[in-house]
Structure 1
Amino acid sequence: MTHWNDADLAKVGAAEELDLESERADGTLRDPVTMWVVRSGGHVYVRSVKGTAGPWYRGVRSRLRGRVAAGGVRRDVTFRPADPGEYAAVDAAYRKKYGRYTSIVEHVLTDRARASTLRLEPR
């Protein structure tokens, strides 16, 4: 597993949104999807509001590779399903970062959304 360097971790973690391009079976990238991103400890996470049935999430699952851009950082990444033991910390990170969007943030805190939690690891 490769880790984020401190500067990139800080920039991506502080970014309001992240653009995610998942890799197709032939190695080409899908169109970017913009989403919220959070940092918990030394890791960066994203979730699908629609859970594992979400279109972008299904695309990610085909290869578990892609590219992300946030906070001026653009990196090729591997998508790792988060362990359920990480969910509480990721929930807290979403609440802290996006809590001002009360009616929206609750959508990434459902059991359905938690099941789609992905850790982004730079390649």
Structure 2
Amino acid sequence: MADWNSAGLEKITAAEELDLASEQANGTLRDPVTMWVVRSGGQLYVRSVKGSDGPWYRGTQSRRQGRIEAGGVGQDVTFRSADPDEYAGVDAAYREKYGHYPSIVEHVLTEGARASTLRLEPR
């Protein structure tokens, strides 16, 4: 696993939203989807509000690669399923960063959303 460049990690972490485009079977990128992104420790994470049924989430599962853009940073990434022991830190990061949207943030804290937690690894 490659490590994030610290300046890029900070810029992405500070961004309110992230654009994520997953790679299709033919190697081209799908249209990007805008979503929330959080940092827990030195890692970046995203979740699907619709859990594993979310269309963008399903798209990440075929090749497990794609591209993200946030805070002026573009990065090719690998999508790794987070381990359940990472969920608590990710939950806390969502509450801290997006807690000013209380009726919305609760949707990324459900069991279904937790099960769709992806760690974004630079490649």
TM-score past 0.5 threshold: yes
TM-score normalised by the chain length of structure 2: 0.99
| In 2: Cα distance, 1:84 partner to 1:51 partner | 14
Structure 2 gap ranges (5+): none
What's the CA shift string for 1:41-84, capped at 9, x where partnerless?
Answer: 10000000000010000000011000000011000000000000
Distance in 2, Cα, partners of 1:88 & 1:14: 20
Q: 2:16 aligns to what?
A: 16
Runs of 4+ in structure 1 displaced over 3 angstroms?
none
Which position in structure 2 is the counterpart of 1:87? 87
Give the percent of matched residue pairs that are identical in Structure 1 and Structure 2.
76
Structure 2 match to 1:56 = 56
Unaligned runs of 5+ in 1: none
Provide the alpha-carbon RMSD of the alignment.
0.4
Provide the aligned length of Structure 1 versus Structure 2.
123
Q: Distance in 2 between matches of 1:98 and 1:42?
A: 19
2:40 counterpart letter in structure 1: S
Deviation of 1:14 (Å): 1.0
Deviation string for 1:25-56 (max 9, x for gaps)?
01000000000000111000000000001000
* 1:32-111 matched pairs, under 5 angstroms: 32-111=32-111
